[in-house]
Amino acid sequence: MTYEQFKQSLIANLKKLFPDGTQISIRPFSQNNHIILDGLIILEIDSNVSPTIYLNHYYEKYLNGTSFSTLQNQILHYYYDHRNIRSIDTSFFTCFEKVHSRIVYKLIHYEKNRELLKEVPHFPYLDLAIVFYYLAQEGPCQSTSIPIFNQHLTFWNISKDTLLFLARKNTPALMASCCSSFSDLFLSALDLFPASDHQSPLEPPDSDLVPMYVLTNQQRVNGACCMLYQNVLHQISEQLNDNLYVLPSSIHEVILIPASTTENPQELSRIVQEINRTEVAPEEVLSDCVYHYNRCSDQILMYQ
């Protein structure tokens, strides 16, 4: 079936499974990098909020041979797993005193989000932009969030500098950073050992290896912004006794490579670009650039 038939069949089937009065709809959502995705919304009678279930990749699975019924079950499982909030009183969002302690930031690409940046308070950073959102709830898979737009500053009678001040304090506290080597993450993913058995302080790498470390937050959501946290890159570089190349793996994490272990840093840019084209969802791409952190000057710059 075509994509339109896929969407209409899904809506028709879901309406049979939910009580009368449930609102089931599909509408386009603008994502990071100006990617438009179709989001399924299920609003049950006693709810005014729903997880958004993006359908584009489900249809790709269908084209690759997964049955429609299997995909429908996966969508239902996703809905029930993430339906942890039934209702939100959004009137609180007009009161700055109720939101200021959960204002946080994230990083997005500047040029690819120029239209969005016309509508939201932001600060340029390298080839990126720092933007802000309200962290409404921390869930097991992802954090529920509300983006902050320019009109919110008018409601709250504050400046964007105030946003940055609050986010610099709140983000590390609410979304603490973590840095692990690829080997630690591999063992953890395989569940071969308890986390406490294989996670250890970072150590300078063996000379024959080109080690990589993943910097993100504990939620692993919008974790690339951990490179902004005060002293984080400096502490890691001191532990490794080296400057760092910072590879923007996605909006969710960055990869750190000790600078002295890389004989051909120009190749890193090609690797990042290739990974962005083949491994990272378009809406999760951060940048094709590579950054260099100098621990003596405590500066991060775009690698030329």
Q: Where are the beta strands (DSSP E) in the chain?
A: 23-30, 36-43, 53-54, 103-109, 122-125, 128-138, 143-147, 177-181, 213-217, 244-250, 253-258, 291-294, 299-302
Q: What is the pLDDT of residues 56-98, one digit of tens each?
A: 999 999 999 999 999 999 999 999 888 765 556 667 778 899 8
Q: What is the pLDDT of residues 28-62, one digit of tens each?
A: 998 999 899 999 999 988 776 778 999 999 999 99
What pLDDT score does 11 carry? Answer: 96
Mean of pLDDT values over 131-158: 81
Share of the chain above pLDDT 70, in %: 86
Mean of pLDDT values over 226-231: 96
* DSSP secondary structure code for residue 21 in this structure: T
What pLDDT score does 132 carry? Answer: 98
**Closest to 76 in 3D by CA, of 108, 106, 109, 50:** 50
Q: What is the pLDDT of residues 263-301, one digit of tens each?
A: 888 899 998 999 999 999 999 999 999 999 999 999 999
Q: How far apart are CA 83 and CA 75, in angstroms?
A: 12
Angle at alpha carbon of residue 85, lines to 61 and 44, rounded to 5°: 70
What pLDDT score does 301 carry? Answer: 95
CA distances from 84 to 26, 43, 110, 140, 150 (A): 20, 13, 33, 10, 29
Q: pTM for this structure?
A: 0.82
Mean of pLDDT values over 129-156: 81
Look at strands 36-43 and 53-54 and give their pairing.
antiparallel
What pLDDT score does 173 carry? Answer: 96
Given a cut of 80, whether residue 189 has pLDDT beyond it is no
Share of the chain above pLDDT 90, in %: 72
Given a cut of 70, whether residue 204 has pLDDT beyond it is no
